[in-house]
Amino acid sequence: MAGITNTAFRRLCREFGNGLFVSEMVTSRALVERTEESMRLIGHHESEKFRSVQLYGVDPTTISRAIEMLVQEDRADHIDLNFGCPVAKVTRKGGGAALPWKSELFEAIVQSAVKAAGTIPVTVKMRKGIDQDHLTFLDAGKAARDAGVTAVALHGRTAEDFYSGRADWDAIAELRASLPDVQVLGNGDIWSAQDAVSMMDKTGVDGIVVGRGCLGRPWLFQDLERAIAGYLAGDKNPKVEEVMPSLGEVADAFYRHAELLTEFFEEEGRACRDIRKHVAWYFKGYPVGGEFRADLARVESLQQASDLLGSLERDAPYPGEEAEGPRGRLGSLKKCSLPEGWLDSRELSDTHRSQLEFAELSVSGG
């Protein structure tokens, strides 16, 4: 969710419902170097009482130094380690979802992170593996548990799956069963509150992780909060009156998002450029027309956005299924880009170690 879950969007989601809202992915090297963008990304608004920072790294020492900085400067209450990124520019150097294949390196990174964090909880997010022939989630989950993490989150797809098809909830259930002594969280295809309770019921996980499901739908967290509370209270089929916003309510949420982005970037023009990618997600299924969407994606000020949003028929009702379901990237199976010979051994060779030095450069600062 790089470029999405900044302080502005986290604040907006929290205005609708509760949850643990995690920062954008920040590389450990960028934090150690204290780049301007990385320091912005780990910033939290005063209203964020529990500060979660998501880290990406490929080196135990650098991860340790980054977390020590966060602890010593009191910048985080929770560290989440991301080993789930399937993007080619990351995996082709051995990072992201490719890294758990090198089991000793994975263990060393998680162990160093937990040690550096001290009393601050550390969680790990990962995928099933590189592809169906190279699964790592059971070994990695046990290694993370043994290192002392608070929770392990599994996205029920491989790196090769990217975001295609349906998430494998059976794999999530298998991990849950194999780790009875640590919290396990499920991730993948949570588009509604019903999806959340269905996953919890089927897999037995302690909680769920939401990514693309909240794009343009910050009110999803209100639905989730109500449904999960009912489920945990013993109602296996909680009846939740899900939020079904009118077009005017969607417009208000969009404008509020733009306001918060302006505060985050401290620049109105940049905020308006940044929110352009959210237009299709917010107005998915609503009868606003292509011309309106295009115009909204070109606004350069909050006033222009306000004027354009004011032209909408605010009483237009929630369009139902057309506004629901998958959003964000889908695509098809993609052969995972890897360093040459990466799959030959689960041990890290000197050649691959040298390549890993560049695995953070392409995503520096998140």
With cut-offs at 50, 70 and 90, classify the pLDDT of residue 242: confident
* Alpha helices, H only, the chain: 7-16, 28-33, 36-41, 60-72, 88-91, 103-117, 137-147, 169-178, 193-203, 220-232, 247-265, 268-274, 279-282, 290-296, 302-309, 350-356
What letter represents residue 182's amino acid? V
Q: What is the pLDDT of residues 181-190, one digit of tens each?
A: 999 999 999 9
Contacts of 78 (CB under 8 A, 6+ apart): 20, 22, 50, 51, 52, 53, 120, 121, 122, 123
Q: What is the pLDDT of residue 222?
A: 94
314-342: pLDDT as tens digits: 999 999 999 988 887 666 788 899 999 99
Q: What are phi and psi of 126, to 5 degrees?
A: -150, 175
All structural domains of the chain, each given as residue ranges with its CATH number in brackets, are: 7-242+330-363 (3.20.20.70), 247-317 (1.10.1200)
Query: HSE of 3 in the Cβ direction (CA atoms, 13 Å)?
Result: 9
Assigned token pair, 77: 């209450």
- Nearest CA among 116, 121, 22, 122 for reference residue 62: 116
pLDDT in tens, 147-171: 999 999 999 999 999 999 999 999 9
- Give the percent of the chain with pLDDT over 70: 98
- Contact between 231 and 238 under an 8 Å Cβ cutoff? The reply is yes
**Which residues belong to the active site?**
85
Q: What are phi and psi of 78, to 5 degrees?
A: -160, 140
Asked whether the beta carbons of 220 and 213 are under 8 A apart, the reply is yes
Q: What's the whole-number mean pLDDT along residues 336-357?
A: 91
Q: Tell me: pLDDT of 365 over 70.
A: no
